[in-house]
A and B are shown apart, each in its own frame.
Chain A
Amino acid sequence: MQSLLQELPEFLGYYNLYFLIEAALTTVALSAIGCIFGALAGFTIAILRHTCTWVLLLPRIFAVIFTEFFRRVPFLVTLMLCFFSFQLAGIDLSLFAVAAVSVALIASAFLAEIMRAGLESVHRNQWDAAASMNFGLIGTIVHIILPQAWKVILPPAFGFFVLFIKDTALASQIGVIELTYAGKVLNNKGFSAALVFGTVLFLYFAISYPLSRLGAYLERRLALSRHR
């Protein structure tokens, strides 16, 4: 304990703090960017799974397989698959981008399920009324379904984003300079592990806990304002 207190001033020096804060921002950005692209892809998958035409049968089957697959593979393995795929295909992407793609893949699988539940939460008769007035699939979703479904989709989707912030710790394995990697760097520099990883744990907490409270607040507000 004594040595910890002795280390503290040097540890909390300007450069280290800047390094840690930047790494923390990278962590949040990784989850956010991955989840945003994952949401777009997930939305497409959710709409695709809602169609019934035989023309889209193969894409639908692919969508189901994709969703069930990426929900059952650990993030570390997906990360490795992406990392080596890009490398062997000769595509030069930054490590952050590779990690973001991995996050997006998994996020799209989970968010597709969340959005599917959201679309199905809108009563069948809304779809019927829109169809009978010649709204196409896109028109129906944009004007009628989405304005009603977003309240059901947003809380769990936001919750997933907050959850995934913790999983981004694994991106340190391919060298992305996020919070966990920063911890390892500082530990290698000579600072005691307890101090370093304790601080990293605290920083993750400082990011995750307020966001999860925000998510809970969002959920309460949206549940109240939902019609019927």
Chain B
Amino acid sequence: MPYLDIAELCADYGSQRVLNRVSLTAEKGQMLGLIGPSGSGKSSLLRVLIGLLPPASGRVTFAGRAIDQRNPADLRHVRDRFAIVFQQFNLFQNMTVFDNVTIAPIKIKKRPKAEVAAEAEGLLAKVGLADKLKSYPDELSGGQQQRVAIARALALRPEVLLLDEVTASLDPELVSEVLDTIRLLASEGMTILVVSHEMAFIREVSSKVAFLAGGMVVETGDPRQIFDAPREARTRDFVSKILRH
């Protein structure tokens, strides 16, 4: 049975249907890449999973347990095990980098301070920001802030990592440092759902790719198959436009 099973998921944003009977699966340790034009529902899917957008209908099953994001207990269960990194980093402006990373594990997960502190220092060193512990978010570059956001998500010891267009707001020269971090995480066996426009990266690192358009899953498959030999016309259309650069 799949680790994460999304079946016939529908969601609305106001009067607009942003997810239309989306069905996807992901296995443990896999990286599932989500590609598609803007407004195709990729980010909405991640937001529904983490509970920032309520689902209208459908079923989500994680590690054998059914999840209804409208149920507070289920939502807490999911948020305890999934972590999301946002396009705009969403770091807490009133705290230092160190506090940003440690606050949730200490206050929410109730883990001992010393243990969390040591782990936070390790994670920040891993993303290359060991010397920025006492800095505030507005003192850092976009790339640095995004790496803090990744460290913050990892400090939650998630079973699934959701990455929502995490390089889209960055200047081009800062993109590769973030992608390197993600590549490292994938190689270590983290289960990742990544929404991105970095096609070369998705093609290289993902175990599986899904192409979405208009709130629906058009095609899923092996990265090489999706990019080099897409079955659907719309996929072909999209891929050819992207790869023309």
Contacts and interface: CB of A to CB of B under 8 A. Distances in A.
**Chains A and B form a bound pair:** yes
Contacts of A128: 52, 86, 90
Contacts of B90: 125-126, 128-129
B212 interface: no
Nearest to A131: B52
Classify the interface of chain B: helix, strand, loop or mixed. loop
Contacts of B241: none
Interface string A116-128: 0000000001101
Which among A126, A132, A143 has the highest number of chain B CB atoms within 10 Å?
A: A132
Nearest to B137: A227
A9 interface: no
A148 B86 contact: no
B52 A132 contact: yes
B200 to A, nearest CB: 28
Interface stretch (B103-111, B183-191, B219-227, B228-236): B103-111
A137 to B, nearest CB: 12
Given A132-B51, A133-B79, A143-B103, A227 B138 contact: yes
Contacts of B94: 144, 147-148
Contact of A132 (B50, B92, B103): B50
B93 interface: yes
A156 to B, nearest CB: 20
Given A132-B79, A132-B84, A228-B138, A148 B93 contact: yes
Interface in A71-110: none
Nearest to B84: A132
Interface string A187-228: 000000000000000000000000000000000000000011
Contact of B92 (A134, A139, A144, A228): A144
Interface in B85-134: 86, 88, 90-94, 103-104, 107-108
A82 to B, nearest CB: 39
Contacts of A66: none
A132 B81 CA distance: 10
A126 B92 contact: yes
Interface in B156-191: 156
Nearest to A130: B92
Nearest to B46: A132
A143 B107 CA distance: 10
A70 interface: no
A19 interface: no
Contacts of A37: none
Contact of A131 (B51, B91, B93, B138): B51
B5 interface: no
A135 B104 contact: yes
A135 B108 contact: yes
Given A134-B76, A135-B108, A143-B107, A129 B92 contact: yes
A227 B79 CA distance: 29
B83 interface: yes
Nearest to B49: A132
A227 B103 contact: no
B80 interface: yes
A141 to B, nearest CB: 12
B3 interface: no
A139 B107 contact: yes
12 contacts: A126-B93, A129-B91, A131-B51, A131-B52, A132-B50, A132-B84, A133-B83, A134-B76, A134-B79, A143-B92, A144-B92, A228-B93
Q: Considering the complex of A and B, which 4 residue pairs feature the smallest CB-CB distances, nearest first? A: A129-B90, A147-B94, A125-B90, A133-B104
Interface of B: 50-52, 76, 79-80, 83-84, 86, 88, 90-94, 103-104, 107-108, 136, 138, 156
Interface of A: 125-126, 128-135, 139, 143-144, 147-148, 227-228
Given A125-B86, A125-B90, A132-B79, 17 more contacts: A126-B90, A129-B90, A129-B91, A130-B92, A131-B51, A131-B52, A131-B79, A132-B50, A132-B83, A132-B84, A134-B80, A135-B107, A139-B107, A143-B103, A143-B107, A148-B93, A228-B93
